[in-house]
Amino acid sequence: MRDHSFAPSRIWIYLVVTLIAAAWLAPLAVVVLNSLRSNEEIAQGSMIGWPQHLAWSNYPAAWSGFCVAETCSGIRPYMLNSALVTIPATIFSTLLGAIAGYAISLWRFRGDNWIYGIVTLGLFLPQQMRLLPWTIVLRDIGLINTLAGLVLIHTIQGLSFTTLFCRNYYVAIPHELIRAARIDGAGFFRIFWRIILPLSGPILIVTVIWQFTHIWNEFLYGVTFTTGQQQPVTAALIALSAAVADIPQHGVQSAAVIIAALPTLLIYLIGGKYFVRGLTAGAVK
Amino acid sequence: MSNAAAIRPGRPALPEWVRRLPEYLMIWVPLLLSAAHLISFSLWTIWISFTPSTLVPVSGWVGLRNYTAVAASRNWQIAFDNLLLFGSAFVVLSAATGLILAILLDQRIRGENALRSIFLYPLAVSFVVTGTVWSWLLNPGLGIQKLVHDLGWTSFKFDWLIDRDMAIWTIVIAAIWQSSGFAMALFLAGLRSVDADIVKAAQIDGAGPVRIYRRIVLPSLWPITVTVVVIQLQFAISTFDLVRALTNGGPGIATQLPALVVYDLMFQRSLLGRGAAAAVLMLLILLAVLLPYAAWRYVQRRRALHA
């Protein structure tokens, strides 16, 4: 039994925790409030303030109005790019990682430990070591400056995480289950489809959330391998702040930041438990 | 198994490996691509770092010349000094913040779930978003300093963002905000797994909460602390997006970090050989952290096996 007492001596705990929580929420609050203030209102005061008139127009302007480098299409095309990269790459890397993790943990084949060890090294190898080779490979196969190129990169690199997550989850499944199914004549895919997949709910949610968040938030590959209209939203945000440096439009920029952060924030709000589980699972590798 | 095909009448018995081709392909193609790209791309980058490549990769051998050029450049020296300062300050402060938050949340307080969500939400947003937002808050003409001036305290000064000596601390602040929650989550899991019986026994012996924390709880957390420190160091070494969005390496090159030097050499100055050398140096810095950690983990596991 846990007692949630409010004894006076414990007031200071609540005080400290509330103060820190307020500090942690402040940046979000500032951006949300700014996204509702007009550019002129912000220019007169500071970026920290209560909206005098709610300027909802910042959102349509951020979504489809403002200009980056002579293209006035707002943030919409870049959001679409991010979605077109993130969703397929998340699905591919999760599915392939689940099959690989299943094969490594429950089928055991020659060289499985070796290949698993090498693949998980991908968790540690800095992106900088892969930048030049990816540039050359993408150029040679004609995928430089395309969304398909980014999907390919994120699928292959994501495999390190997804294989690790799924393998660690599947090793806990009793081997007898597989052995019995094999004696009944079920093959690799049939067992995966009928036995493993129905047991995989929690780990697939963790993996999908992890991959989606990482790929959506990724910046270095986006900015290196794509330009202009092909860029994901993280790269477009940087281009936006560079483009408006002369005439700041902080209200519109704040709205753009909120829109860009919204997909992963929503996923966090909905699947928080699984988000944290992925975080700690990735840590205790 | 292999005789399963023979039992079924009327079907041509395909060789085992043909029947199982789809599964071999599904297992091996992705795994081999992943493993091959990790090994070949690393070797490739290492090879480029020994060539005189500039705009495009060329063959040739220049020995360690790219490395000495990078190491002698002011850009790299500043980046390396910054990494030492940023890495140690960020790791110590974020681990400390995470530990304090975990201990506070472990006091059976109301609203623990909501508070935990608040401390963890920054991990869901990108470093680009974090960097952009903090660049506004810390901008003396826009953010906190401007607010305090508008409120009447006009001599107030908080301009680290444009101060060459202090600018690196703005990155420390934003990084702590973003990832202390991660340390908190790990520490909290550690606190929750402390043996309740030992704590109860100590309480019966008359030990106060401070003594219990110092003598029993905190010592049991140190393996988690090592993990937290290593993961945060790994993040610090490869920090790129956050600086790009917050200071873009400035003012001047005051907040340069190794990852920015690599990008600058490869894609802005088109000095591929030197860029590759800088990337390999980053890898070496990372290995200097990870190899001792791996050795430590190995010893720990063996000890656990023999215990």
Report yes or no on A1 lying in a domain: no
Supply A139's token pair: 């150029």
Tens-place pLDDT, residues A118-152: 999 999 999 999 999 999 999 999 999 999 999 99
What pLDDT, on the 0 to 100 scale, is given for residue B12? 66
- Per-residue confidence band for B6, with pLDDT thresholds at 50, 70 and 90: very low
What pLDDT, on the 0 to 100 scale, is given for residue B8? 53
Total domain count, chain A:
2
Report yes or no on A258 lying in a domain: yes
Supply B122's token pair: 């920054």
| Residue of chain A minimizing CA distance to B261 | A128
**Chain B residues touching residue A96 (CB < 8 angstroms):** 26, 30
What pLDDT, on the 0 to 100 scale, is given for residue A83? 98
What pLDDT, on the 0 to 100 scale, is given for residue B235? 94
A50: number of Cβ within 10 Å: 8
Residue type, B240: F
- Per-residue confidence band for A90, with pLDDT thresholds at 50, 70 and 90: very high
Q: Does the beta-carbon distance from A241 to B245 stay under 8 Å?
A: yes
Report yes or no on A261 lying in a domain: yes
Please indicate, yes or no, whether residues A37 and A97 belong to a single structural domain of this protein: no
**Chain A residues touching residue B38 (CB < 8 angstroms):** 118-119, 121-122, 125, 160
Please indicate, yes or no, whether residues A80 and A143 belong to a single structural domain of this protein: yes
Please indicate, yes or no, whether residues A123 and A191 belong to a single structural domain of this protein: yes
* Radius of gyration (C-alpha) of chain A in whole angstroms: 23
Rounded Cα distance, B247 and A198, in Å: 48
B104: number of Cβ within 10 Å: 17
| Residue of chain B minimizing CA distance to A222 | B241
Q: A5: helix, coil or strand? A: coil
What pLDDT, on the 0 to 100 scale, is given for residue A68? 65
What pLDDT, on the 0 to 100 scale, is given for residue A235? 94
- The enclosing domain of A277 has a CATH number of 1.10.3720.10
Closest-CA residue to B238 (of B261, B216, B221): B261
Distance of CA B76 to the CA centre of its chain: 20
Q: Does the beta-carbon distance from B147 to A48 stay under 8 Å?
A: yes
Give the nearest partner residue to A129 out of B26, B267, B283, using CB atoms: B283
Please indicate, yes or no, whether residues A93 and A23 belong to a single structural domain of this protein: no
Burial of A241 (0-12, 13-18, 19+ CB in 10 A): buried
Q: Is residue A3's pLDDT more than 60?
A: no
Please indicate, yes or no, whether residues A211 and A243 belong to a single structural domain of this protein: yes
Please indicate, yes or no, whether residues A122 and A248 belong to a single structural domain of this protein: yes
**Chain B residues touching residue A14 (CB < 8 angstroms):** 109
Please indicate, yes or no, whether residues A117 and A237 belong to a single structural domain of this protein: yes
Mean pLDDT of all residues in chain B?
A: 91
Range of the domain at A248: 76-283
Residues across chain B: 307
- Reply yes or no: is the peptide bond before residue B251 cis, omega within 30 of 0: yes
Q: Does A238 touch chain B (CB under 8 A)?
A: yes
Q: Which one is predicted more confidently, A241 or B234?
A: B234
Q: Is residue A199's pLDDT more than 50?
A: yes
**Chain B residues touching residue A44 (CB < 8 angstroms):** none
Give the nearest partner residue to B38 out of A118, A132, A267, using CB atoms: A118
Give the nearest partner residue to B108 out of A3, A127, A136, using CB atoms: A3
Q: Does A246 touch chain B (CB under 8 A)?
A: no
Supply A159's token pair: 């495999």
Rounded Cα distance, B82 and B165, in Å: 10
Interface with A, mutate which of B126, B210, B284 (most A CBs under 10 A): B126
The mean pLDDT value for B180-202 works out to 90
Rounded Cα distance, A229 and A227, in Å: 6
What pLDDT, on the 0 to 100 scale, is given for residue A284? 55
| Residue of chain B minimizing CA distance to A225 | B267
Q: Does the beta-carbon distance from B45 to A130 stay under 8 Å?
A: yes
Rounded Cα distance, B234 and A21, in Å: 26
Q: Is residue A222's pLDDT more than 80?
A: yes
Q: Does the beta-carbon distance from A220 to B240 stay under 8 Å?
A: yes
Please indicate, yes or no, whether residues A176 and A108 belong to a single structural domain of this protein: yes
Residues in contact with A9: Cβ distance below 8 Å, sequence separation at least 6, in sequence order: none
Contact A104, A167 (CB under 8 A): yes
Mean pLDDT of all residues in chain A?
A: 89
Q: Which of A6-10, A99-103, B195-199 has the lowest mean pLDDT?
A: A6-10
Q: Is residue A2's pLDDT more than 60?
A: no
The mean pLDDT value for B2-31 works out to 73
Q: Which of A65-69, B8-12, B276-280 has the lowest mean pLDDT?
A: B8-12
Rounded Cα distance, B280 and B117, in Å: 38
For B149, half-sphere exposure in the C-beta direction (CA atoms, 13 angstrom radius) is 17
The mean pLDDT value for A80-107 works out to 95
Closest-CA residue to A228 (of A220, A218, A217, A240): A240
**Chain B residues touching residue A79 (CB < 8 angstroms):** none
Specify the DSSP element, H or E, that contains B81. helix B74-105
Report yes or no on A69 lying in a domain: no
| Residue of chain B minimizing CA distance to A92 | B30
Report yes or no on A64 lying in a domain: no
Contact A155, A96 (CB under 8 A): yes
The mean pLDDT value for A231-260 works out to 87
What pLDDT, on the 0 to 100 scale, is given for residue A7? 64
Does the predicted interface ipTM exceed a cut of 0.85? yes
Q: Which one is predicted more confidently, B13 or B116?
A: B116
Please indicate, yes or no, whether residues A167 and A28 belong to a single structural domain of this protein: no
Q: Is residue A110's pLDDT more than 90?
A: no
Q: Does the beta-carbon distance from B259 to A213 stay under 8 Å?
A: no
Tens-place pLDDT, residues B106-132: 988 889 999 999 999 999 999 999 999
| Residue of chain A minimizing CA distance to B33 | A156
Supply A174's token pair: 């009793």
The C-alpha of A73 sits at a distance from chain B's nearest C-alpha, in angstroms, of 20
DSSP string for residues in A134-182? HHHHHHHTT-TTSHHHHHHHHHHHHHHHHHHHHHHHHTTS-HHHHHHHH
Tens-place pLDDT, residues A151-190: 999 999 999 999 999 999 999 888 888 889 988 888 889 9
What pLDDT, on the 0 to 100 scale, is given for residue A207? 94
- Per-residue confidence band for B5, with pLDDT thresholds at 50, 70 and 90: very low
Q: Is residue B232's pLDDT more than 60?
A: yes
The C-alpha of B227 sits at a distance from chain A's nearest C-alpha, in angstroms, of 7
B114: number of Cβ within 10 Å: 9
Q: Is residue A208's pLDDT more than 90?
A: yes
Q: Is residue A197's pLDDT more than 90?
A: yes
Supply B109's token pair: 């307080």
- Per-residue confidence band for B68, with pLDDT thresholds at 50, 70 and 90: very high
What pLDDT, on the 0 to 100 scale, is given for residue A187? 87
Please indicate, yes or no, whether residues A184 and A92 belong to a single structural domain of this protein: yes
Contact A107, A190 (CB under 8 A): no
Please indicate, yes or no, whether residues A167 and A223 belong to a single structural domain of this protein: yes
Q: Which one is predicted more confidently, B225 or A275?
A: B225
What pLDDT, on the 0 to 100 scale, is given for residue A259? 96
- Per-residue confidence band for B196, with pLDDT thresholds at 50, 70 and 90: confident
The model's pTM: 0.92
Q: Does the beta-carbon distance from B117 to A272 stay under 8 Å?
A: yes
* B194 φ, ψ (degrees, to nearest 5): -65, 140
Please indicate, yes or no, whether residues A45 and A142 belong to a single structural domain of this protein: no
What pLDDT, on the 0 to 100 scale, is given for residue B85? 97
Rounded Cα distance, A255 and A267, in Å: 19
Q: What percent of chain A has pLDDT over 70?
A: 94
The C-alpha of A264 sits at a distance from chain B's nearest C-alpha, in angstroms, of 6
Q: Is residue B7's pLDDT more than 60?
A: no
Q: Is residue B1's pLDDT more than 60?
A: no
Specify the DSSP element, H or E, that contains A201. helix A201-217
Report yes or no on A104 lying in a domain: yes
CA angle A19/A21/A22 to nearest 5° reads 65
What pLDDT, on the 0 to 100 scale, is given for residue A45? 83
* Radius of gyration (C-alpha) of chain B in whole angstroms: 26
A 215-234 residues with CB < 8 A to B = 216-220, 224, 234
